[in-house]
Structure 1
């Protein structure tokens, strides 16, 4: 394995309640929630009517009318997050070798909002069984093919190296960044723009999760609807958003005097090969992903200072990953703060893994563990330290962030402060 070490030198985030990395961190560190009643469409026919929406105005992020017409909302979020990450990194992308600069973007459901809206148009609101394609926007193909997301980001940064979309459900945001790290480590690229984006708050997505009762019906109290690890939790809150990073080799970053947020020291992904939506209660597959990620990072489990949990707010998931933490970290799991930022920004499907990586890097940056909002009564089967309600000042040198997705995907990533790690 190559000795190249990969670090984060730029962060861009568009999340519910936090447009921009600075506002995003303020929301998390203050323990505020951004969940509310759905405003994008009339949610009254649906069981779950709450969501975590991003207050996103494309023009404020330099997107003109033609770009807005061409790109689905998720692609717009990805490009806007990319522009923030590039500016934050201080890299002059026009001076880079374009063939050594790549892009990986994760997304679980692609251009859902665009496809949903266009179907409504070509079918005359669902009235026509045989749709009339002449009424569709001219860029409908870009909505259909998720690879357009990576192409838009590559165009925005002038990247002509590896360009990939990673779609592994709700672990896409971790897996896309993990793939980018490996490309730098193996020498296929020097700089990667990596992250994920999803904008799934549309009637079709809400209906799908309604059908399996995965989302919360707590419509009378949207601000407290997302309750990971709480005994009263009854499903997740659908969200949207994007997070994108500039990744580069540690030596190169230091040579140019870049600010380094964190090193991505280890990553692994596993699948339980068990059930589309079900999870085994012992958390064995997630525990295995954690073990391999720690081994790759060459960091023992008792060096983990904070766990950024998947913490979706479903009983099955919260118990599953609690078991995985115990299985992989042993007694140290009981001494390690754990929290779920989905309590504040909802579950943005494929985007959330990257948004949680951003939260993990910023936790290292600030030595603060964000809280699990709305956690008042802990489930007795979830007996770890979930940092309820209020952020905690905490020496945070090394963070474990995990993801769990439909299809059985389980991913884990280890981030650390490279200077503290050396000491």
Structure 2
């Protein structure tokens, strides 16, 4: 079996761009949530979000690239640039085989901002049923087709291996890495530029979540509004961002002397076939994904040193997730530190899975478990160790991350330290 390791990490997240600012923010447990600045949120039930203070020019994007790319692609490019630089992989080197390097990117909603903005212009704010294409930008095809994100990255780095976009709702970030893992394991590539990106903070997205009352209405206290596992939670906080990881076949990484964060040792995905947005209270479908990911890693419950929770901050998800941990881990579930970084950076839909996996890589490398911010009044049904308020030091050899998405998607992935055996 070909092994897959992480050799580079790039993150664009709320509260500070770049891997180090992201890490400092989640360890401090300081939420990067505020009243929406991208547009006037006054008409909406939920008026807050976790926005990125992102300047594309500062990250090397030209005016032409900015005009061509939706914001979610811009974020992905910036994160990928950082991950490649972090990995030390020289794409221009004579011995770099770019035919063996591929791209996989996850996204739940793609070019939401560009599509909405251009429709508003073309339709005269919805007044015209028949729109005139002359009034929109010439790059609408790229915005309509989510695969444009992977194509942009492949073209930017001139790599010719497998390229794909994975869109499985809020599990897209984990599933994107899972697809890249499979590509490397089967031998179709030696390196994969893999991750996810979403920039969904727009009127249409806010309206949709308002309609089902999934997002919080705690508009007067933005920094305290994302409250996973807390009895006083009122829904999730919408976010945006991107994380890209440089995944590499182990022998390939070792041959070039790469610094290795960790190894992907397990991955599994399941669909519940139950309800578009609902979850079974017993956590069965998520527990099955966790169980199979752990089986792939050859782990027993006592081996887990940290769990990065989905932890969206909705009553339904938090209780479903707690039940899943108990179902798989038994009494050990009470002893494993768990936390949700969505309490700090919000829920960036398809991107968050890769952002949380980036956090897991850093947890293993740096020996610190980030806290769940705002967890002050624990829900009695969420009675596990959800690491309230303060980070803690921990020697984490194996970290599990889970995701749950509309449509019934459930995914789990395990990162492990290499250890002496490697």
Match of 1:196 in 2: 196
Q: Residue 246 of structure 1: SS of its match in structure 2?
A: strand
Q: 2:42 aligns with which of 44, 55, 61?
A: 44
Match of 1:315 in 2: 315
Match of 2:102 in 1: 102
Correspondence 1:234-383 to 2 at 5 A: 234-383=234-383
Distance apart, 1:125 and its partner CA:
1.9
Query: Are 1:139 and 2:139 matched, yes or no?
Result: yes
Match of 2:161 in 1: 161
Match of 2:230 in 1: 230
Match of 2:89 in 1: 91
Deviation string, structure 1 residues 274-333 (Cα, Å, up to 9, x no partner): 000000011111111111111111122220011000000000000001000111111111
Confirm or deny: 8 A CA contact 1:33 1:345 kept in the other structure.
yes
Alpha-carbon separation, structure 2, partners of 1:159 and 1:106: 18
Deviation string, structure 1 residues 361-409 (Cα, Å, up to 9, x no partner): 1011111000000000000000000000110111111100000000010
Length-normalised TM-score, structure 2: 0.98
Q: Which moved more, 1:123-132 or 1:401-410?
A: 123-132
Length-normalised TM-score, structure 1: 0.98
Match of 1:409 in 2: 409
Correspondence 1:118-137 to 2 at 5 A: 118-137=118-137
Match of 1:187 in 2: 187
Match of 2:19 in 1: 21
Confirm or deny: 8 A CA contact 1:94 1:158 kept in the other structure.
no
Q: 1:64 aligns with which of 62, 65, 69?
A: 62
Alpha-carbon separation, structure 2, partners of 1:367 and 1:80: 26
Alpha-carbon separation, structure 2, partners of 1:334 and 1:223: 28
Correspondence 1:67-82 to 2 at 5 A: 67-82=65-80
Confirm or deny: 8 A CA contact 1:281 1:323 kept in the other structure.
yes
Distance apart, 1:94 and its partner CA:
2.4
Confirm or deny: 8 A CA contact 1:18 1:25 kept in the other structure.
no
Match of 2:398 in 1: 398
List structure 1 runs of 4+ shifted beyond 6 angstroms. none
Unaligned 5+ segments in structure 1 are: none
Q: Residue 376 of structure 1: SS of its match in structure 2?
A: coil
Q: Which moved more, 1:357-366 or 1:119-128?
A: 119-128
Deviation string, structure 1 residues 9-32 (Cα, Å, up to 9, x no partner): 001100001310011000011111
Alpha-carbon separation, structure 2, partners of 1:157 and 1:244: 14
Confirm or deny: 8 A CA contact 1:48 1:217 kept in the other structure.
yes
Distance apart, 1:176 and its partner CA:
0.3
Deviation string, structure 1 residues 181-220 (Cα, Å, up to 9, x no partner): 1110110100000000000000000000000000000000
Alpha-carbon separation, structure 1, partners of 2:257 and 2:356: 26
Two-structure CA RMSD over aligned residues (Å): 0.9
